[in-house]
Amino acid sequence: MQRVESTADDNAVRALIASLGSAMVGTGQPVHEIEQELGEVARRWGYPDLQVGAAPTSLTFSLSRGGPSTFQRVEGGLSLEKAVDVRRIRHQVAFGVLDIHQALEELESLRVRQARYPGWLTQPAYVVVAVGIGLILQPGWANLAAVGGCAVVVAFLLAASRRFRTLGTLLPTVAAFVVTVIVFALADAGLVEGPLRTVLPPLAALLPGALIVTGMSELAAGHMQAGASRLVYGIVELALFALGLLAATTVLRVPDEQLVNVRVDALGWVAAPVGLLLITVGISLMEHVPAPTAPWVLVVLVLAFAAQSAGHLLGSAALGGFFGAVAASLGATAVELFRPRLARLVLFLPAFWLLVPGSLGLLGVTQLVAERPDVLAAGVDVVGVVVAIALGLLVGSAIGAALRRRVRPADVA
């Protein structure tokens, strides 16, 4: 595509930064990356002194030091499919492939564009993801059947929460309570072994794992307001999940011997690769990821899982989380360098469904219930794993930035 060369006035550039920046916030991208990339766009159009402050739900910026500022509120997030297009538009604007008016038209059409996959295909995807995580966490036939049934219930609650605001607020607690009651009732009837790990997969996709880790990375990058707000919100969500688990085990009067971290391994080595494949398919459908991008999502998932497993064998859950985060971040960067049109954010975010405190890391949350006499120690373990993943993300991002400086991606649309 031929590059465009055009001049721009303040109003046009202000509209571009507001629209593009709010879309980037909607993708869940860390605020320090948003501010850096918007600065590159502004410099391309002759505004090197852009002052921008991104937040998890808003964007404030000025085109010059001491100039008038613009506030843009961000409502709702964007799917990974649209995150791919946001990254492409930013890249094309920064390199002059799109002019401002073309970029604004594409960003406007992005929010109203119909989903790539129909509802009858995306709605069962939640169950597919849950079963995939179940194959990794608790690969037993009866356990997988229970996971699939509970995932259907959670998917129904998730759909209902979009219509009823009160249920949406209480969804983590309600979902955790219902799933725990079902699974432990099955265990009490002798139908399921290892109920504690069976509770996790139907809930894993709802957990704020990526949210908390992103918040930690923003804190480490010096963005205290954005990082602290994400972190506090994520911790509250985890507390609501733990509340549902605790309420269910209290109501059922579950004995301590059932609150044991027991893994049922009925399928052997084949469970993990099949599970990773199902997770990739499910996430791709839920987030409307383009089919050509899905194999690259699987590559990053495999790298993160292998590194996390190695860390568990060598040391602890924290070391596994650190290795997994480094692998996910570096793997996504390497793929982006090899395929510049793919968005790094889209590639590595799904990996956090396998990292703490999502899915595998929820074991730490369940320990808060299972190890009632030593709740403080269990809580410290959870915090330690979250910090380890955040550090891994920072290390991987730093190495990835060095790679990008040495290997410049092709300047193409």
* The two three-digit tokens of residue 310, written as one number: 């190695």
At residue 374, the pLDDT reads 54
Q: Which two structure tokens, joined as six digits, stand for 199?
A: 């509770």
How far from chain centre, in Å, is Cα 209?
Answer: 6
Distance CA 306, CA 362 (A): 19
What's the rounded Cα separation, in Å, for the pair 91 and 104? 14
Q: What is residue 186's predicted lDDT score, i.e. its pLDDT? A: 92
Alpha-carbon span 301 to 288, nearest angstrom: 17
Contact 368, 379 (CB under 8 A): yes
User: How confident is the model at residue 150, as a pLDDT?
Assistant: 94
Please tell me the predicted confidence (pLDDT) of residue 366: 56
What integer pLDDT is reported at residue 174 of this predicted model?
Answer: 92
Domain locations in the chain? 10-112, 120-406
pLDDT given for residue 183 in this prediction = 92
pLDDT at 373: 52
Q: What is the pLDDT of residue 19?
A: 92
pLDDT for the residue numbered 343: 73
| Beta sheet of 51-55, edge-to-edge order | 51-55, 58-62, 69-73
Query: Which residues, at least 6 apart from 364, have a Cβ–Cβ distance to it below 8 Å?
Result: 317, 356, 357, 378, 381, 382, 385
Q: Tell me the CA end-to-end span of the chain in Å, nearest whole number.
A: 7
Low-confidence ranges of the chain (pLDDT < 70): 1-8, 256-257, 356-383, 408-413
Contact 157, 171 (CB under 8 A): yes
Region for residue 97 given its phi and psi (left: phi exceeds 0; alpha: psi -120 to 50; beta: otherwise): alpha
Give the contacts of 348 (CB within 8 A, at least 6 positions apart): 300, 304, 328, 329, 331, 332
The pair of three-digit structure tokens given for residue 122, joined into one six-digit string = 């995306």
pLDDT for the residue 387: 76
Give the list of residues 6+ apart from residue 28 with CB closer than 8 angstroms, or none.
77, 83, 210, 211, 214, 345, 349
Q: What is the pLDDT of residues 196-252, one digit of tens each?
A: 888 888 988 787 777 877 887 788 778 888 888 888 888 888 888 888 888 888 888
Give one DSSP letter per residue of 268-283, joined into a string. GGGHHHHHHHHHHHHH
Residue 259: CB partners within 8 Å, gap ≥ 6? 196, 249, 366, 369, 370
Contacts (Cβ under 8 Å, ≥6 apart) of 70: 14, 17, 18, 60, 61, 62
